[in-house]
Amino acid sequence: MDNHIKIFDTTLRDGEQSPGYSMNKPEKLRLALQLEKLGVDVIEAGFPIASDGDYETVKEIGKIIKKSTVAALCRTRDVDLERAVAAVQHAAKPRIHTFIATSDIHLKYKLQQTREQVLESAVRAVEYAKSHYDDVEFSAEDASRSDPDFLIEIFTAVIEAGATTINVPDTVGYALPWEYADLIKTLNENIPNIHKAVISVHCHNDLGLAVANSLMAVQNGARQIECTVNGIGERAGNASLEEVVMAIETRKNIMNYTTSINTKEIFPSSQMLSQITGKGVQPNKAIVGENAFAHEAGIHQHGVLKNPLTYEIMTPESVGLTCNKIVIGKHSGRFALCKKLEELGYFLEKEDLNRVYVKVTQLADEKKVVEDHDLVSILALMNNTPKKPSQKLASGG
């Protein structure tokens, strides 16, 4: 089996669907270009039936993106399909992504349809999409809460009708990693024509398991992961692109997979999204959070300054950050303080360093983080005159 994992980015569709993350057309075009630079295989550009704006945006994205596949989402209804087909008409690599729910709870309360009706709509939709484009993805919404036998039946039928990717969404983020792994394994082993399609996964993060579930799926045969920058998406979000990709990169010793992502574009992509939406990520967010490469504890700072491998499993440079961050706070030690002061241009004798250290710990008790300008003020006060970088405290005071 091929070990390449396709990265399907749905920041502009599932991500944009979440409250507070809507983007206008120029913003989406800018982000689409950045996603292409990041190296994603597929950009899900939008849901063209949702609005005229969405339709126009998908169409424009199709015109400017050359390397990545551009996907348009649609339900299995005729109007949706027609709109999606038209929206990707200019794309160099168009994909139609059609979906319908398959769980009994959705069939009964949302669709009010029987399994036979759902299967028939799915096949008709795939046939229609296939009559326009080669690349067709079918998603069984709420797959993780669907009867696996029905999933086998519907996926077999849509592959027969021409689907080249079958997606198994954990729509409500309900699955546990081993349970989801079992489902993917069952589908992989029991869909007779599965060799004609790629298994895709689309995990939501309601229990904080979206990334774990996606990785378990890969271990059991999935070869496409649907994810978003900064993990944005409906409710608690989707699997985070940066976490999925860096887990694969960092643990190559255990997971022998490749992606086409240029990891150095991860941080710039995250920053662009935050800047566009006005919503940053939490400081402790893996990979792209403000603290992801920051060290405050003295023991950690000492280790990292001697050799980053002591406390960093990946380099900040590998995700597009210029360097790690030594934060001076109440847990910092003299070693880190000394390095920080040297960075600022102050080379202190031991005795002076001890005096500064006492002042810094006092300030850190009040302030949590001691900024560079605080250090400069402490040095200046201790010498009664402001100091400029590169002056030695001991000799210049």
Residues found near Zn ion in the complex (CB under 5 A)? 14
- Is residue 44 a contact residue for ligand KIV (CB under 6 A)? no
Phi, psi of 306 (to 5 degrees): -80, -45
**14/54 with CB nearer Zn ion:** 14
Distance CA 333, CA 148 (A): 56
Compute CA 205 distance to the chain's CA centroid, rounded to the nearest angstrom: 12
Give the footprint of ligand KIV on residues 94-133 (CB under 6 A): 99
Instruction: Select the residue interacting with ligand KIV from 83, 202, 285, 340 (CB under 6 A).
Output: 202
Residue 16 DSSP class? T
User: Of 320, 328, 326, which Cα lies nearest the Cα of 304?
Assistant: 326
Instruction: Select the residue interacting with ligand KIV from 18, 165, 171, 220 (CB under 6 A).
Output: 171
- Three state DSSP letters for 237-296: CECEHHHHHHHHHHCCCCCCCECCCCHHHHHHHHHHHHHHHCCCCCCCCCCCCCCCCEEC
> Which one of Zn ion, ligand KIV, none is in contact with 141 (Cβ closer than 5 to 8 A by kind)?
ligand KIV
- Least distance from ligand KIV to the Cβ atom of residue 171, Å: 4
Going from the C-alpha of 338 to that of each of 140, 335, 354, 357, the distances in angstroms are 58, 5, 10, 9
Distance CA 158, CA 164 (A): 9
- Least distance from ligand KIV to the Cβ atom of residue 356, Å: 54
Q: Near ligand KIV by CB under 6 A, which window of 163-171, 210-218, 248-256, 286-294? A: 163-171
User: Of 338, 346, 350, 351, which Cα lies nearest the Cα of 380?
Assistant: 346
- Least distance from ligand KIV to the Cβ atom of residue 202, Å: 5
- Is residue 141 a contact residue for ligand KIV (CB under 6 A)? yes
| Token pair listed for 35 | 């996603």
- Least distance from Zn ion to the Cβ atom of residue 203, Å: 9
**50/286 with CB nearer ligand KIV:** 50
- Is residue 169 a contact residue for ligand KIV (CB under 6 A)? yes
Instruction: Select the residue interacting with ligand KIV from 14, 16, 135, 242 (CB under 6 A).
Output: 14
Residues forming the site for ligand KIV (CB under 6 A): 14, 99, 139, 141, 167, 169, 171, 202, 204
